[in-house]
Amino acid sequence: MPVGEIDEVAWKFLRSEFTGRTYANWPIDRRVDAYLIRNGMRRFLDNGADYSALLDRVMSNIGAALRSGILSPGR
């Protein structure tokens, strides 16, 4: 899968309800799994390399999401 598409999905996840308080006690991989399933993107779950790349992109963009206000520390 192209890096741009993986990055796009990572940012969509970071803007989703799965980064909010409701899911705050869930591990990040479980949140990503639920997001992918809910949004019809099981193909990531079926491809270990793409899934790993997606998790990496989510984790590496958390700081930028906080700085830009997409995520808030108390969210």
> How does pLDDT run across 28-67, given as a tens digit for each residue?
999 999 999 999 999 999 999 999 999 999 999 999 999 9
Q: Locate tokens 């949140």: which residue?
A: 31
The phi and psi torsions of 9 (rounded to 5 degrees) equal -65, -40
Phi-psi region of 68 (alpha: psi -120 to 50; beta: other; left: phi over 0): alpha
The CA distance from 53 to 45, in Å, is 11
pLDDT tops 60 at residue 75: no
pLDDT tops 90 at residue 15: yes
Q: What is the pLDDT of residue 37?
A: 98
Q: What is the pLDDT of residue 7?
A: 96
pLDDT tops 60 at residue 70: yes
Rounded mean pLDDT, 14-27:
94
For the chain, how many residues are written?
Answer: 75
Listed by start position, the domains of the chain span 3-68
